[in-house]
Amino acid sequence: MQTPYIVHFLHFSGKFHQTLPSEDRAFFRKRGPRGFSRFPCGSNCAIMDLENKEVYTMDLKKRLEEFRPWNEQEERDREALLRLLEAGQAPCGREDPAHLTASAWVVSPERDRVLLAYHNIFGSWSWLGGHADGERDLLSAALREVREESGLEAVRPVSRDIYSVEILTVDGHEKRGRYVSSHLHLNVTFLLEADPAAPVRCKPDENSRVGWFGLEEAVAASTEPWFQKRIYSKLNGKLAGFPPRR
């Protein structure tokens, strides 16, 4: 049975306010007690601003409706994402067990190289990206993550349209000394472009190396077979629709 989306029109008491995580209390103090909703995931669930939720949902929903799946995986995952959005269960905070993320396939202008980072938790070379963390513009979130994880400043979208969609399982793991429960990433990927000659650096709390690879080398560098077959090979294959920039 599908869990319905429940909206609570909150008139917070001081006591209830104190039960919120510290970062949510700060957000509450900033925005006041009106216009928030909670997702039905218990006490540790995301808070969204109702004033902007409808615009945010409709914008992403419209983008997904316009997106043309490249294969069956994208078709099925797109359908599931749309159902979750319509049910109000695709939050942009990371507190819920299924939440939005933004990834980037960063390529060279010639479309023959791709930027990867060696991910500390997964022990593998992987694409760049991360949690939306409240950012409703997922392209902006993808650009932010690339800059944070690689040090690149001059990175730009090849297109502002969604490049690919994926629903990704993440096993439980330790992060910064705390256990993170298994969860789902409702992922939207964008195609970005950068100059391989530009300086890069790692982000030690998330990755230990950042580097450029040839397209086939990038797939081979991953130690995650499912990502090799289902994600990275697909992302390379879709580049045929985006000719090199001369």
Mind listing the pLDDT tens digit for each residue in 172-190?
Answer: 666 667 776 566 888 999 9
pLDDT computed for residue 183 by the predictor: 63
With tokens 């925005």, the residue in question is 31
Per-residue exposure over 27-60, b if at least 16 CB sit within 10 Å of its own CB, e if not? bbeeeeeeebbbbeeeeebbbbeeeebeebbeeb
Spatial distance between the Cα atoms of 207 and 222, rounded to a whole number of angstroms: 14
pLDDT computed for residue 25 by the predictor: 41
Per-residue exposure over 193-232, b if at least 16 CB sit within 10 Å of its own CB, e if not? bbebeeebebbeebbeebbbbebeebbebbebeebbeebb
Question: Higher confidence at residue 48 or residue 170?
Answer: 170
pLDDT at residue 57 greater than cutoff 90: no
pLDDT computed for residue 121 by the predictor: 83
The 3-state secondary structure of 120-142 reads CCCCEEECEEEECCCCCCHHHHH
Which pLDDT tens digit goes with each residue over 221-237? Answer: 999 999 999 999 999 99
Our separate counts of H helices and E strands in the chain read: 8, 12
Q: Which of 107, 154, 104, 105 is nearest to 130 (CA)?
A: 104
Instruction: Look up the pTM and report it.
Output: 0.73
With tokens 């029109």, the residue in question is 9
Q: How far is CA 1 from the centre of its chain?
A: 27
Which pLDDT tens digit goes with each residue over 75-92? Answer: 999 999 998 888 876 565
With tokens 């997904």, the residue in question is 64
- Backbone φ and ψ of 165, nearest 5°: -130, 145
Question: Higher confidence at residue 243 or residue 25?
Answer: 243
Question: Higher confidence at residue 10 or residue 166?
Answer: 166
